[in-house]
Amino acid sequence: MIVPVITNSEVKNQALRKMLDEMNKSHSANEDMIHNWLCNQDDDQLFSGIVKEGKSINKAFKYCRNQAQKLKEDNCAMVDDSTVFGWVRDYFLLEEDHKAQASETSKIRKKSEGTKSNVKTNKSEGVQMDLFDCL
């Protein structure tokens, strides 16, 4: 089997076409910013990551959102552009499946939300009361 050799400009053109197809669909302003940053890059390794099947700007944005959630304090996270674009770069260059990572983050969040229960223990351990038990 003969594998065609892709020159630097070919991989960039493939990546630009793939991104343009995605940007022709409904998308957010955040995805626009990621797209614009990617278009201004000159890194064949990054463009090779973009053309990989399953990679998308939308998924890169979700990856960045998950990374930012890890940094939040008091339900707020402030992240500078260079960090966010570093995460975009990581998303396209890393081989692991970020979908599985995002799914795991979602499971953890749901589990923590579901732990709000009226747990009561025996007298030797004390009693944990719910604030609404007195009503």
Q: Is the pTM of this model over 0.85?
A: no
- The 10s digit of each residue's pLDDT in 22-43 is 999 999 999 999 999 999 999 9
Residue 102 CB: number of other CB atoms within 10 A? 15
**57-94 tens-digit pLDDT:** 999 999 999 999 999 999 899 999 999 999 999 999 99
- Binning pLDDT at 50, 70 and 90, where does residue 4 land? low
